[in-house]
Structure 1
């Protein structure tokens, strides 16, 4: 009868699986800069910490996240609007203008990247592809754009008079968007997120962009909203820690 031979573990071989140290690295970065995530800071100080705690190898966006005192389920408490940032967003927008044939020449002269009417509408409807960042339309073409609601709606790109993207003043609309006009809107959890520039901007440019946006946001409180409107503001960079702002 063959004897069973027990396999012995090789004590000289040790397999160790190490967990990523990303959280430790971020915490260390925060400690080195004096940043305390439990405290609130002025815009100027927050920009400083955003710069010092960012360690990515690309030029990250500087983002602002707002927690609002609204009921997102109520239509009358939706927060949306536009603001022209004094120093732009750092991103070159591709703008599409939807208009009738008689206005196409003026639309092209405005600096729009894409201009078209029914043919452009059908093209997007069939392909479902969108290769622009913002859609602007003249009122006369809007009835024909209804089929694009399923494509542009979920992306928040359907032209609307509420954000000045349905207009007869095409040149003015395109110029403002190119200069840094952004559209903001709350999400289903009563939060709002916007990119307000790039970390490569100088401190003053970031400060002015942030303060300009906050000033407009404060004026956007719905009449039916009761209590505190802006419950919290957090500044961050892409993949960076959240820095609480003084309100």
Structure 2
């Protein structure tokens, strides 16, 4: 009986001791879990490798295209309208609003590389939208340029006196156009008014054609003129009042489009740009892509019907 108890005790001690596992045990590859198994991509056939290369090239091309051009580089896929049809729908969208507060607006979509030289110029439309231009002239006191500015109706003129006026009324300037005579350009640079005039787009410069030798001719050109500038691949500006006739609006659109195309041609040596779409909208209406035609598609509607008050 004692020997039996000793045998049971020995078996009990053996069961309680930790089992030793081999240190350098290797598991066969086919028994290992799928996560542990290393998989190798098949080289594939020649045609498969060619397709993979084409996909990589296409991805790279799309990425470069997206990075280099603005989002307006592709014209919209919406239906296009004639000028009279677009005016008809926009006039319907503005019914009930004061005609004096509603304007037609135009957007010219430009295919252009990012960070390229933007299109900018000043244009005199055949039918001006508004005539509230208030011009100030930087010129020497008592000179011929000052006499021309006074005769042309400038609201302010001079050098030091005008600089002080700008500093004293930086938040509410009494003018919305500022030009500079070439003889006063050094005084303008010395005055250091770029922080005040720059954010308001009033700083005279050769790029904006606001530094001139003839104050009289530039003032005459500015009265009723509009300034356009390309931003984020598009040019947006008012093009007419809601009471304009189709002929008046058409003349303004043609003049602006022609000026922008000429501007693009002049920059061909520096950057490649293309005008790809013209969109007409109003203050509260949707946008209509123009197809270049003038007359309405509905025979019952004539341009004369769009020339009367709403």
TM-score interval w.r.t. the shorter chain?
A: 0.7 to 0.9
Corresponding pairs, count: 206
Alignment-derived partner of residue 105 in structure 2: 63
- Structure 1 residue 230 and structure 2 residue 275: aligned? yes
Asked if structure 2 preserves the Cα contact closer than 8 Å seen for 1:89 and 1:196, the reply is yes
Asked if structure 2 preserves the Cα contact closer than 8 Å seen for 1:43 and 1:210, the reply is no
Alignment-derived partner of residue 261 in structure 2: 218
Whole-Å Cα distance in 2 between the matches of residues 231 and 69 of structure 1? Answer: 7
Question: Which consecutive aligned stretches of 4+ in structure 1 deviate over 4 angstroms post-superposition?
Answer: none
Task: Choose between structure 1 and 2 for higher RCO, CA contacts under 8 A separated by at least 6 residues.
Answer: 1
Whole-Å Cα distance in 1 between the matches of residues 286 and 193 of structure 2? Answer: 38
Whole-Å Cα distance in 1 between the matches of residues 219 and 92 of structure 2? Answer: 35
Whole-Å Cα distance in 1 between the matches of residues 121 and 114 of structure 2? Answer: 15
Cα shift at 1:58:
4.3
Cα shift at 1:175:
1.4
- 3-state SS of paired residue (1:235): strand
Query: Which stretch of the first structure deviates more once superposed, 204-213 or 160-169?
Result: 160-169
Whole-Å Cα distance in 2 between the matches of residues 133 and 200 of structure 1? Answer: 25
Cα shift at 1:210:
1.2
TM-score (norm 2): 0.61
Alignment-derived partner of residue 127 in structure 1: 169
TM-score (norm 1): 0.75
Whole-Å Cα distance in 1 between the matches of residues 203 and 176 of structure 2? Answer: 11
Q: Tell me: CA distance 1:47–1:158, structure 2 relative to 1, closer, same or farther (3 Å).
A: farther
Asked if structure 1 preserves the Cα contact closer than 8 Å seen for 2:99 and 2:242, the reply is no
- 3-state SS of paired residue (2:179): strand
Alignment-derived partner of residue 147 in structure 2: 105
Q: Which runs of 5+ in 1 are unaligned?
A: 1-36
- Structure 1 residue 185 and structure 2 residue 229: aligned? yes
Q: Which runs of 5+ in 2 are unaligned?
A: 1-76, 293-310
Q: How does 1:20-59 map to 2 (within 5 A)?
A: 38-55=78-95, 56-59=97-100
- Structure 1 residue 243 and structure 2 residue 288: aligned? yes
Alignment-derived partner of residue 210 in structure 2: 165
